[in-house]
Amino acid sequence: MNGSGILDRRGTIFIVLVLAAGVLVPASNLLLSPSSPFYVSDYLVPLLGKYLCYALLAVAVDLVWGYCGVLSLGHGAFFALGGYAMGMYLMRQIGARGVYGNPVLPDFMVFLNYKELPWFWLGFNHFPFAALMVLLVPGALAFLFGWFAFRSRVTGVYLSIITQAMTFALMLAFFRNDMGFGGNNGLTDFKDILGFPITAGTTRGALFFASAIALVGGYLICRGLVVSKYGKVLVAVRDAESRTRFLGYKVANYKLLAWTLSAMLAGVAGALYVPQVGIINPGEFAPANSIETVIWVAVGGRGTLVGAALGALVVNAGKTWFTGVLPEAWLFALGALFVVVTLFLPRGIIGLWGDVSERLRKPKPDQVPEAEAPAKAAE
């Protein structure tokens, strides 16, 4: 860790760059002419916003994997639950403007002959309630899951498999039409958010800025946690859980707090993701998405927070380019990238950058310090 404070040099640079992007990208889209070389197109603004949401998800995963030693293969579930909470709010805002013109029931419910709005949809026409659910639903699920798993001392690959089973079970459940979440098609055709047209340029810019603020906020929360006394114990749990328990620390409680907070951050990332991509469906629960998130963290640098966000940005930018050139080869390229990073770059991009910087600062062997020059001359 570079420095004992919340903001070290690396973190400061990261925050400045993210906030600068949060202002400059929407401004370039709204204020510049399309003929300008610095113009950011309407397509790129939500795409880059999606990357920021993925970066926040990666930071959340790095908190539990990089500092707590819990390899989660199910964080896609918390991301999707936050997305569905936001999607339910957006669906309630459509009102009578839907295809069937029903002021209360979303179109898919009218199509499936629902007679009334399910009880768990009540309240989602209010943004504060939906925002609360974005935090509460993933947080409650993570708390219940972690309470039983950590107190049962389930660790290692067994815990990873259970997290993967959790998100797979949720995916199967949300695919069912009778669950009341749109089944296979999910939730889409959004119109407004907080009264503003969701496709308007200013709304896209505001969502991008909100994503940048959320990423910075999530980073600061996690960074503040890991540099505190709690964070020191968390690292001890990661490196020697049994020894930490024998010293008298309640390991389960430390892991449970980090796990629940991580899930809530993932939910926020999902909530910001949905209005920018315009849809949420059960495919977001797919275990492959959670595994891909782990790869982002590994590529960027596990246990660094900044590296996790950087890995998400780099891998997803590469995915956008690669799937446009050779879409059928992307999964092979992603797998090869993970293997290469694991074998040759165990500390990821951030670790590689640190090694290069250290070598550049180190004096060359043929450079003789001034104090040794007279002795060599006497010889």
Is residue 14 included in any domain, yes or no?
yes
Structure-block tokens of residue 106:
């979303």
Do residues 218 and 59 make contact, with C-beta atoms less than 8 angstroms apart?
Answer: yes
How far apart are the C-alpha atoms of 75 and 66, rounded to whole Å? 14
Is residue 257 included in any domain, yes or no?
yes
Do residues 180 and 112 make contact, with C-beta atoms less than 8 angstroms apart?
Answer: no
Is residue 105 included in any domain, yes or no?
yes
Is residue 261 included in any domain, yes or no?
yes
Query: 188 phi and psi, to 5 degrees?
Result: -160, -170
Number of domains present in the structure of the chain: 1
Domain of 39 in residue numbering reads as 9-360
pLDDT at 365: 61
Is residue 306 included in any domain, yes or no?
yes
Is residue 149 included in any domain, yes or no?
yes
Do residues 68 and 258 make contact, with C-beta atoms less than 8 angstroms apart?
Answer: yes
pLDDT at 369: 56
CA dihedral 165→167→173→175, nearest 10 degrees, is: -120
Residue carrying the six token digits 């070290």: 8
pLDDT at 1: 42
**SS3 of the chain: helix, strand, coil, percent, to 5:** 70, 0, 25
Give the chain's count of helices (H) and strands (E): 15, 4
Residues of the chain with pLDDT under 70: 1-4, 363-379
Is residue 377 included in any domain, yes or no?
no
Is residue 378 included in any domain, yes or no?
no
pLDDT at 364: 63
How far apart are the C-alpha atoms of 185 and 279, rounded to whole Å? 9
pLDDT at 247: 92
Its pTM stands at: 0.92
How far apart are the C-alpha atoms of 173 and 151, rounded to whole Å? 27
Do residues 270 and 83 make contact, with C-beta atoms less than 8 angstroms apart?
Answer: yes
